[in-house]
């Protein structure tokens, strides 16, 4: 049985984790099967709370995530079992009740702001990457995304950023950079970093196949 390699990608909100993960997946897809998971889909279900109460929750704290389910899914994928990933609704701040099936593959790419901060996730990761993006760029990208794609009000996005997103980044996300194997300075068009990381990962994967 081939070895499954888990690549965890962390970084601040709107740092480019998902874009980097998708690009990386494309660059290693030719030689290896790849599946991509986002920790954003593993928020706990707070549908028992009112919408106003859900809006005030701290979604950047580890307690907001179903860590047990994330770890179970990573373990299942390592054992070549398919998983049912919950689909989170960012407009209502709750689980949608729908799922998507992820089949096992040689490479699992997991991205999330806390991917390197949570020990249980970190110890299951073979390659750990941190995306470093300037704070002002991350805030602008988050503002455009949340207002344009997730139906949020501008003042609500700013309030959430100042009260939870920014403090949690300083307390949880930024310190997790010490656990990274690779630190990527991310900006639009930084294809050199992506190519270098992809080449290194392809080399490691080739070695894994030969020694497995």
Per DSSP bridges, beta strands 127-132 and 182-185 are: parallel
Which helix (H) or strand (E) segment holds residue 35: the answer is strand 34-38
pLDDT at 29: 72
Q: What is the pTM of this model?
A: 0.90
Closest CA to 186 of 117, 113, 134: 134
pLDDT of the residue at 169: 95
Residue 147 CA to residue 150 CA, distance in Å, equals: 6
Token output for 84: 């049912």
Q: What is the DSSP letter of 12?
A: S
Structure tokens at 200: 């290194």
Mind listing the pLDDT tens digit for each residue in 94-127? Answer: 899 999 999 999 999 999 999 999 999 999 999 9
> Contact 186/11 with Cβ under 8 angstroms?
yes
Q: Is 127 helix (H, G, I), strand (E, B) or coil?
A: strand
Domains plus CATH for the chain?
5-201 (3.40.50.300)
Give residue 175's pLDDT: 97
* Ranges under pLDDT 70 in the chain: 1-2, 30, 188-189, 208-212
Question: What pLDDT is attached to residue 179?
Answer: 97
At 133-157, the pLDDT tens digits run 999 999 999 999 989 888 888 998 9
Instruction: Tell me what pLDDT residue 209 has.
Output: 53
The pLDDT assigned to 101 comes to 97
């Amino acid at each position: 049985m081939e070895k499954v390699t888990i690549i965890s990608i962390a970084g601040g909100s709107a740092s480019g984790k998902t874009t980097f993960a998708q690009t990386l997946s494309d660059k290693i897809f030719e030689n290896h099967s790849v599946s991509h998971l986002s920790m954003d889909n593993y928020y706990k279900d707070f549908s028992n709370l009112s919408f106003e109460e859900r809006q005030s929750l701290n979604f950047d704290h580890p307690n907001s995530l179903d860590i047990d389910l994330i770890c179970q899914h990573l373990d299942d994928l390592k054992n070549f079992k398919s998983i049912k990933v919950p689909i989170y609704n960012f407009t209502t701040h709750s689980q949608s009740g729908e799922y998507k099936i992820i089949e096992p593959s040689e490479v699992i790419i997991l991205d999330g702001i806390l991917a390197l901060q949570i020990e249980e996730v970190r110890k299951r990761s073979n390659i750990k990457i941190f995306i470093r993006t300037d704070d002002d760029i991350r805030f602008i990208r988050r503002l455009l995304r949340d207002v344009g794609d997730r139906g949020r009000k501008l003042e609500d996005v700013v309030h959430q950023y100042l009260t939870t997103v920014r403090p949690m980044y300083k307390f949880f996300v930024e310190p997790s950079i010490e656990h990274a194997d690779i630190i990527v300075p991310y900006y639009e068009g930084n294809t050199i970093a992506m190519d270098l990381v992809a080449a290194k990962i392809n080399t490691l994967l080739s070695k894994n196949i030969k020694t497995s």
